[in-house]
Amino acid sequence: MNKAPFLTREQAREITKNHPTPFYIYDERGIRENIRRLRKAFAWNEGFREYFAVKATPNPYLLRIFKEEGCFVDCSSLTELMLADTVGFHGDGIMFSSNDTPDEDYRLAAKLGATVNFDDLTHVLPYGELAPYGETVSCRFNPGGEFKMGNTIMNSPKDAKFGMPEEQLKEAFLLLKARGVRRFGIHAFLASNTTDERYYPKLASILFELAVRVSAETGVKIAFVNLSGGIGVPYRPEDTPADIEAIGNGVREAYERILVPAGMGDVAIYTELGRFMMAPYGALVSRVLHFKHTWKEYIGLDACAANLMRPAMYGAYHHITVLGKENELPAGVFDVTGGLCENNDKFAVDRPLPETEIGDFVYIHDTGAHGHSMGYNYNGKLRCAELLLCEDGSVRQIRRAETPADYFATLDLTPFQK
């Protein structure tokens, strides 16, 4: 089975005249079309908003595309807030879903007028010492126990560091209400990377029922329910993509079953999707540098885990296409590696691939989210450039590659210079 790249070998060749490999490239058309599909699937909800999770792909040029398409941003750190501000997001256009939050992050969130989504009850009163509460505040829920769909355990909220139990959430709402907050949001993130179309409707039912209880018991006005992230993408060629239309309909069914009869038919639905919005529309493009024939067959690339950490960190599968050889049969199985002094620096293990040559373009699929942004500098490796394949077919550099000067920028080398 195969997966289609959004780039041809000829395009890759053309690009490398100006931009050496490795590089990330994002597909503007794909990003925009997907945003429109999502917004259409939730158009039944008047207040619907997607707050793109900035951490997935924190690049201002990409955030601007989200802005143009009517989306908002979800931030969780000082620098993500700064980036959002730069692109022109402010006020309730920013959701601040942080945890274990430093004071200065909260101060900036307050200054920008962001909607704060408290991860914990113990943050609520100290925040009031730093800044005035906004009109609208959200709290993050953790139901504990296991999160199941059918008989399958999807996740164990009881072991997750995020969110607060129901009793604490109600206490937080009462504290906030007494301090002048008028509109409240409820948020939870209970499963990651799931293409199962039952996930959002299940999560929505849990949060809608909670919203009804909380509203009845505390008398607060629930303005929104934030289903956060977690919708997955088909990383493997045999995976089925998440059917966003069915997901939107499933959430609507829960909304009409639970919220509408409770007189809460004005609650807005928010999402904070990251992976679903970007992963399929980004690729890491690298070239074959070396072959090695020892106990196994190796293909060495000019990219390494410092460019894309997911395989090394989670054993994540990323499909690989050798550009121009899409239709060739496998010539064997190969480990595809980078040059870190770490044996887990492998983009693929025992992967069937066609015959490759040195210099061939290796296209690593579905790396548009949690790819470049998780990059690091181990072994002194430098992060690569990010490019945008624009709708008109032109290619624009939206982040340059790091140079050794960037790597040394935090050191004072003058005492060592001769």
* Nearer Cβ to ligand PLP (300/368): 368
Piece in contact with ligand PLP (CB under 6 A), picked from 18-26, 39-47, 203-211, 228-236: 228-236
Compute the least distance from the CB of residue 51 to ligand PLP, in Å: 8
Piece in contact with ligand PLP (CB under 6 A), picked from 108-116, 129-137, 271-279, 409-417: 271-279
Residue closest to ligand PLP when measured from CB atoms: 229
If one asks whether residue 366 binds ligand PLP (CB under 6 A), the answer comes out as no
Of 67, 275, 310, 372, which one interacts with ligand PLP (CB under 6 A)?
Answer: 275
* Nearer Cβ to ligand PLP (161/293): 161
If one asks whether residue 56 binds ligand PLP (CB under 6 A), the answer comes out as yes
If one asks whether residue 97 binds ligand PLP (CB under 6 A), the answer comes out as yes
If one asks whether residue 229 binds ligand PLP (CB under 6 A), the answer comes out as yes
If one asks whether residue 273 binds ligand PLP (CB under 6 A), the answer comes out as yes
* Nearer Cβ to ligand PLP (56/284): 56
* Nearer Cβ to ligand PLP (276/347): 276
* Nearer Cβ to ligand PLP (162/334): 162
Strands 361-364 and 332-337: unpaired
**Which spans of this chain sit near ligand PLP (rule: CB under 6 A)?**
53, 55-56, 74, 76, 97, 189, 192-193, 228-230, 272-276, 369
